[in-house]
C-alpha cells in the first residue's frame, strides 16, 4: 500500500502518545498519574447540558449552515463585545469542529507549496505539522532565551518574501506565558506593513492568573484585516468532547475557510453548537470558579517545584501548564541509567515514578517537559511527591 509523502512526513501527537502510554500502564494495574493532556477535569457547565437537552427535545439534530448557526454566532458576537470591546458581524465568524480544525483550515486557505509561516518556539505540537501538511515551511523563532517571550526584532528578521502568516498562542501552551502587549501591538503594525496574517490562537484567553489577557485588536483596531482570532469552548467551558471551535477575522479569509470546511467537516454538530450557546451566555460565573481552582493548583505547583532539586520553571500566568526546565538533570543518573535528554527523563519518570509528562522536544524545546495541572489537587499532591522522590534519587 502506498501512502502520500505528505502524510509520511507528519509525526504523531506526542501529547497523545504519552497519554496513551500512561493509559496502557493504568490498564495493566499500575497506579500512574498522567499530567499529559490539556483537558479540563471539570464537568461541562450545567447551562451547556441544559441547552443540549433542549436541542434534543426539539429534534434540533440536522445539518446547520457550514459556518455555524446564527444563534451561536450571536452569542460569540455578544461575548467579544462585552469581554474585549470588539464588534464583529456574523459574516466575520466561522464555527468549526474544535479550534484545531479551524487552524488547519486557515493554513489551507493561506499556504501554497514553499510558503513560510513563522512559529515562535516552544510551540504547540500541531502547528508545525499542520504547516507541513500544506507543503509549507515553518520558520522557527526561539524564545527560550527571553523567558519564552518573543521579540519583535526576531520576528522581523525571520520575515521573507515568502512569509504568509505567523502562528501565535497566548496564553501559551506549553509555558503558560502571556505575550507582552507591546510585542502584540508591534506585531500588528508589522503585519500591516509587510502584509502577512496573524493567526492568533487565544483558546486559553479566560484562564489567566493575576494578568489579564488582551486581544491585540483592542490596542490596534486598524489591524482587523490581518488578524484571525481563534478560540473555542473546549478549555474555557470544559467542553473538549463537544468539539466546538470558532474563528473571527476578515470576511475574505473567513469565506475561504468556509469553502474548505464545506469539503472537510461541513457543519459542527447541531447539539454541540446549542450547548456552546448555553455556555457562552450563562456560564461566566462557572468559568470564574474554575479559574480560581486552577490558580490554587498553580500556586501549589510553583511552591513545590521551587523546593525541588534539578528542576525549575517560569511561573505560568495563563492556561493550565507548567513548563519544567530539566536541563540541570540531564546527564545525571537514576540508579544505573543515564538521563540523556528530556525524552529519557520522561521515560524514566514514567517507569519508576509512575508519573507521565510530555517531553519538551515535542514542543521544539529540548531539555524541558510540560506538566498539565488540569488534574485534582489529590493527584497533584501525589505527583509532586513522586517527582520529588525521583529528582532526589538522581546522582
DSSP state letters, 262-324: HTTT-S--HHHHHHHHHHHHH-HHHHHHHHHHHHHHHHHHHHHHHTSTT-EEPPP-BTTEEEE
With beta carbons less than 8 A apart as the criterion, state whether 239 and 275 touch.
yes
Q: Are residue 96 and residue 202 in the same domain, yes or no? A: yes
pLDDT for the residue numbered 15: 67
Q: Are residue 141 and residue 249 in the same domain, yes or no? A: yes
pLDDT for the residue numbered 16: 67
Tell me the sheet residues that pair with 312: 325
pLDDT for the residue numbered 282: 98
Q: Are residue 257 and residue 131 in the same domain, yes or no? A: yes
Q: Which residues constitute the domain of residue 386?
A: 5-43+285-392
What is the value of pTM for the model shown? 0.95
Q: pLDDT confidence of 6, banded at 50, 70, 90?
A: confident
Give yes or no for residue 225 having a pLDDT over 80.
yes
Dihedral angle, C-alpha 233, 235, 238, 243, nearest 10 °: 50
Residue pLDDT, tens place only, 333-345: 999 999 999 999 9
- Cα(304)–Cα(338) distance, integer angstroms: 25
pLDDT for the residue numbered 217: 98
Tell me the sheet residues that pair with 197: 165
b/e for 116-149, b at 16 or more Cβ within 10 A? Answer: bbbbbbbbbbbbbbbbbbbebbbbbbebbeeebb
Q: What is the mean pLDDT of residues 258-262?
A: 97
pLDDT for the residue numbered 37: 86
Q: Are residue 31 and residue 128 in the same domain, yes or no? A: no
| CA dihedral over 361, 367, 373, 377, signed as positive or negative | positive
Residue pLDDT, tens place only, 265-307: 999 999 999 999 999 999 999 999 999 999 999 999 999 999 9
- Cα(208)–Cα(316) distance, integer angstroms: 9
| H or E, element range at 110 | helix 99-110
Domain stop point among 231, 251, 282:
282
Give yes or no for residue 25 having a pLDDT over 90.
no
**How much is the mean pLDDT over the chain?**
95
Domain stop point among 241, 264, 282:
282
Q: What is the mean pLDDT of residues 125-154?
A: 96
Q: Is 212 helix (H, G, I), strand (E, B) or coil?
A: coil
Q: What is the mean pLDDT of residues 358-371?
A: 97
Domain stop point among 282, 303, 338:
282
Residue pLDDT, tens place only, 7-21: 778 777 766 677 777
Q: Are residue 62 and residue 88 in the same domain, yes or no? A: yes
Q: Are residue 112 and residue 198 in the same domain, yes or no? A: yes
What percentage of the chain has pLDDT greater than the value 70? 99
Q: Are residue 244 and residue 143 in the same domain, yes or no? A: yes
Q: Are residue 244 and residue 367 in the same domain, yes or no? A: no
What percentage of the chain has pLDDT greater than the value 90? 91
What is the domain-level CATH number for residue 54? Answer: 3.40.640.10
Helix axes of 377-392 and 284-306: crossing angle, nearest 10 degrees: 20
Q: What is the mean pLDDT of residues 214-234?
A: 98
**Count of domains forming the chain:** 2
Q: Are residue 140 and residue 202 in the same domain, yes or no? A: yes
| H or E, element range at 13 | none
Q: Are residue 251 and residue 386 in the same domain, yes or no? A: no
Q: Are residue 300 and residue 267 in the same domain, yes or no? A: no
Q: Alpha carbon of 394 to those of 83, 327, 348, 387: distances in Å?
A: 47, 13, 11, 11
What is the domain-level CATH number for residue 359? Answer: 3.90.1150.10
pLDDT for the residue numbered 31: 82
Q: What values do phi and psi take at 245, rounded to 5?
A: -120, 175
Give yes or no for residue 352 having a pLDDT over 80.
yes
Q: Are residue 320 and residue 190 in the same domain, yes or no? A: no
Q: What values do phi and psi take at 276, rounded to 5?
A: -65, -35
Q: Is 10 exposed, middle or buried (0-12, 13-18, 19+ CB in 10 A)?
A: middle
Amino acid at each position: 500500500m502506498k501512502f502520500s509523502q505528505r502524510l509520511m512526513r507528519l509525526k504523531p501527537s506526542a501529547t497523545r502518545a504519552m497519554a496513551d502510554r500512561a493509559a496502557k500502564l493504568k490498564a495493566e494495574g499500575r497506579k500512574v498519574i498522567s499530567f499529559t493532556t490539556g483537558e479540563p477535569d471539570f464537568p461541562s457547565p450545567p447551562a451547556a447540558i441544559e441547552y443540549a437537552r433542549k436541542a434534543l427535545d426539539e429534534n434540533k439534530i440536522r445539518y446547520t449552515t457550514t459556518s455555524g448557526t446564527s444563534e451561536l454566532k450571536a452569542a460569540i458576537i455578544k461575548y467579544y463585545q462585552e469581554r474585549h470591546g470588539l464588534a464583529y458581524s456574523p459574516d466575520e465568524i466561522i464555527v468549526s469542529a474544535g479550534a484545531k480544525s479551524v487552524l488547519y483550515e486557515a493554513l489551507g486557505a493561506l499556504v501554497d507549496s514553499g510558503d513560510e509561516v513563522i512559529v515562535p518556539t516552544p510551540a504547540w505540537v500541531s502547528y508545525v505539522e499542520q504547516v507541513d501538511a500544506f507543503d509549507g515551511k515553518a520558520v522557527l523563532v526561539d524564545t527560550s532565551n527571553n523567558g519564552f517571550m518573543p521579540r519583535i526584532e526576531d520576528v522581523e528578521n525571520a520575515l521573507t518574501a515568502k512569509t504568509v502568516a505567523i502562528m501565535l498562542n497566548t496564553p501559551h501552551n506549553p509555558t503558560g506565558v502571556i505575550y507582552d502587549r507591546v510585542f502584540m501591538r508591534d506585531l500588528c503594525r508589522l503585519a500591516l506593513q509587510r502584509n502577512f496574517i496573524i493567526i492568533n490562537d487565544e483558546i486559553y484567553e479566560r484562564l489567566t492568573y493575576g494578568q489579564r489577557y488582551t486581544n491585540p485588536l483592542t490596542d490596534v483596531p486598524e489591524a482587523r484585516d490581518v488578524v484571525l482570532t481563534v478560540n473555542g469552548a473546549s478549555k474555557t467551558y470544559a467542553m473538549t468532547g463537544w468539539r466546538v471551535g470558532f474563528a473571527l477575522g476578515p470576511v475574505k479569509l473567513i469565506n475561504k475557510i468556509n469553502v474548505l470546511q464545506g469539503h472537510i467537516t461541513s457543519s459542527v454538530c447541531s447539539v454541540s453548537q446549542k450547548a456552546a450557546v448555553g455556555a457562552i451566555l450563562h456560564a461566566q460565573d462557572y468559568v470564574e470558579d474554575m479559574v480560581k481552582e486552577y490558580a490554587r493548583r498553580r500556586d501549589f505547583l510553583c511552591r513545590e517545584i521551587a523546593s525541588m532539586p534539578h528542576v525549575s520553571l517560569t511561573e505560568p500566568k495563563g492556561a493550565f501548564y507548567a513548563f519544567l526546565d530539566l536541563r540541570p538533570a540531564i546527564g545525571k543518573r537514576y540508579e544505573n541509567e543515564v538521563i540523556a535528554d528530556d525524552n529519557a527523563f520522561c521515560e524514566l519518570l514514567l517507569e519508576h515514578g509512575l508519573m507521565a509528562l510530555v517531553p519538551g522536544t515535542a514542543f521544539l524545546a529540548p531539555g524541558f517537559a510540560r506538566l498539565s495541572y488540569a488534574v485534582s489537587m489529590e493527584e497533584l499532591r501525589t505527583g509532586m511527591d513522586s517527582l520529588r522522590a525521583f529528582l532526589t534519587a538522581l546522582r
